[in-house]
C-alpha cells in the first residue's frame, strides 16, 4: 500500500530477489529509489500520462504480465520486478548500469539510450546512473552498507561517460609475454565506441595470449630444433 515501504519485509524481499538474480541488493534498491523519486512506494504513478506504476514504474503490458496492482505490497511487487529483470536479460554479476538499462531501455547494455521522447527525464541511461549518488546512499543506509568511496564515485563517472580506466598489467615473472597484447588493447579501446553505438560488448574480438613460462618456451624450441636435425 502507498507509504508502506520501506519496511523489513520489503527490504528482505529485495535481498532475496537480488540473491536469486545474482546482483547487488544495493544496486536493485538504488534503481527502485530513483524510479520512485526516493519514495519507494509500490503504488506511485508516474511517467507519461501517469501511466506507469510502482517500484520500477511498470507499464500497462508489464503490469498485466507480472500481476502488478496499485494496492500491492512492496514486498510482493519486488517479486514482479525480479521476474521482469530476469525475463529482460539480467544475468548474475551485472551492476547498476545494466540493471537501470533494463528498467529504462528494455534490456542490459543500452547505456546510450534515452526515453525523453516518451515522457522520461532528459538524458541517457548512463547520464541517469551518474546522477544516482543520493539514491545509492539511501539504499546503503536502508540495507546496511558504507557510503560510496571517492574511488567508487570516480569509477562510476568513468563508466557513465564510457571512458575506460587506465589499463595497467604487471609483467609476469618468468615468461616470454609482458603485459597486454596489442589485440587485447585494441579491443579494450573499442569498447567505448561500441557502448555509444549500443552494440553488444561481447562482439569485441578479444584474443588473449597467456604468458608462456621461459622454461617451457626453451623446451619447445629445443624440440623443434631436434626435429629439424632429424629431417
Q: Where are the beta strands (DSSP E) in 108-176?
A: none
Give the Cα separation of 21 and 84 in Å (integer). 11
Upper half-sphere CA count for residue 175 (Cβ side, 13 Å): 12
Task: Please indicate, yes or no, if residue 208 is contained in any of the structural domains.
Answer: yes
Model confidence at 220, in pLDDT bands (50, 70, 90)? low
Span 70-91, mean pLDDT? 97
CA distances from 36 to 18, 39, 191, 203 (A): 19, 5, 32, 35
Task: Please indicate, yes or no, if residue 1 is contained in any of the structural domains.
Answer: no
Residues of the domain holding 12: 8-155
Instruction: Give the CATH number of the domain where residue 150 resides.
Output: 1.10.530
112 & 15 share domain: yes
Model confidence at 225, in pLDDT bands (50, 70, 90)? low
Give the Cα separation of 103 and 45 in Å (integer). 16
Query: What pLDDT sits at residue 121?
Result: 84
Count of domains observed in the chain: 2
**Per the structure block, which three cell numbers stand in for 132?**
544516482
Model confidence at 226, in pLDDT bands (50, 70, 90)? low
pLDDT over 90, % of the chain: 54
Q: Give 128-170 pLDDT, tens digit per residue.
A: 999 999 999 999 999 997 544 444 444 444 444 443 333 333 3
62 & 132 share domain: yes
Burial zone of 225 (CB within 10 Å; 0-12 exposed, 13-18 middle, 19+ buried): exposed
Which residues share a beta bridge with 52? 46
Report which of 132, 135, 120 is spatially closest to residue 157, judged by C-alpha positions.
132
pLDDT at 228 over 80: no
Q: For helices 74-87 and 8-21, what crossing angle results, to 10°?
A: 20
**C-beta separation of 129 from 24 below 8 A:** no
106 & 78 share domain: yes
Model confidence at 180, in pLDDT bands (50, 70, 90)? very low
28 & 129 share domain: yes
143 & 207 share domain: no
**C-beta separation of 135 from 33 below 8 A:** yes
Q: Give 30-53 pLDDT, tens digit per residue.
A: 999 999 999 999 999 998 889 999
Query: What pLDDT sits at residue 218?
Result: 61
Answer with the one of 155, 174, 209 that is the final residue of a domain: 155
Q: Write down the mean pLDDT value for the chain.
A: 76
Query: What pLDDT sits at residue 217?
Result: 55
Give the Cα separation of 37 and 53 in Å (integer). 12
93 or 155, higher pLDDT: 93
132-136, 187-191, 213-217 — most confident range: 132-136
Task: Please indicate, yes or no, if residue 33 is contained in any of the structural domains.
Answer: yes
Q: What is the dihedral of CA 46, 94, 166, 133, to 10 degrees?
A: 30
Model confidence at 229, in pLDDT bands (50, 70, 90)? low
Query: What pLDDT sits at residue 89?
Result: 98
Answer with the one of 137, 155, 173 that is the final residue of a domain: 155
Task: Please indicate, yes or no, if residue 2 is contained in any of the structural domains.
Answer: no
Query: What pLDDT sits at residue 8?
Result: 92
Answer with the one of 131, 155, 179 that is the final residue of a domain: 155
65 & 144 share domain: yes
Task: Please indicate, yes or no, if residue 3 is contained in any of the structural domains.
Answer: no
30 & 81 share domain: yes
134 & 108 share domain: yes
211: Cβ contacts below 8 Å, ≥ 6 apart: 172, 175, 176, 177, 178
Task: Please indicate, yes or no, if residue 34 is contained in any of the structural domains.
Answer: yes
151 & 196 share domain: no
Report which of 97, 102, 42 is spatially closest to residue 72, judged by C-alpha positions.
42
85 or 5, higher pLDDT: 85
Query: What pLDDT sits at residue 115?
Result: 86
pLDDT at 57 over 60: yes
Amino acid at each position: 500500500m502507498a507509504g508502506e515501504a520501506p519496511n523489513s519485509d520489503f527490504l528482505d524481499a529485495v535481498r532475496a530477489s537480488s540473491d536469486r538474480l545474482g546482483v547487488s541488493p544495493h544496486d536493485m534498491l538504488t534503481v527502485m529509489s530513483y524510479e520512485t523519486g526516493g519514495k519507494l512506494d509500490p503504488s506511485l504513478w508516474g511517467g507519461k500520462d501517469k501511466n506507469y506504476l510502482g517500484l520500477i514504474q511498470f507499464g500497462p503490458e508489464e503490469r498485466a504480465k507480472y500481476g502488478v496492482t496499485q494496492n500491492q505490497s512492496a514486498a510482493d511487487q519486488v517479486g514482479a520486478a525480479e521476474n521482469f529483470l530476469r525475463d529482460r536479460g539480467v544475468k548474475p554479476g551485472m551492476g547498476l548500469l545494466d540493471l537501470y538499462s533494463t528498467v529504462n531501455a528494455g534490456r542490459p547494455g543500452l547505456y546510450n539510450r534515452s526515453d525523453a521522447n516518451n515522457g522520461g527525464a532528459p538524458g541517457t541511461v548512463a547520464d541517469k546512473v551518474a546522477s544516482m549518488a543520493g539514491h545509492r546512499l539511501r539504499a546503503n543506509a536502508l540495507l546496511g552498507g558504507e557510503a560510496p568511496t571517492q574511488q567508487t564515485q570516480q569509477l562510476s563517472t568513468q563508466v557513465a561517460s564510457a571512458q575506460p580506466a587506465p589499463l595497467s598489467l604487471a609483467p609476469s615473472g618468468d615468461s616470454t609475454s609482458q603485459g597486454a597484447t596489442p589485440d587485447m588493447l585494441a579491443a579494450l579501446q573499442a569498447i567505448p565506441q561500441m557502448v555509444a553505438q549500443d552494440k553488444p560488448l561481447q562482439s569485441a574480438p578479444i584474443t588473449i595470449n597467456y604468458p608462456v613460462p621461459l622454461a617451457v618456451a626453451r623446451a619447445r624450441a629445443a624440440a623443434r630444433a631436434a626435429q629439424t636435425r632429424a629431417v
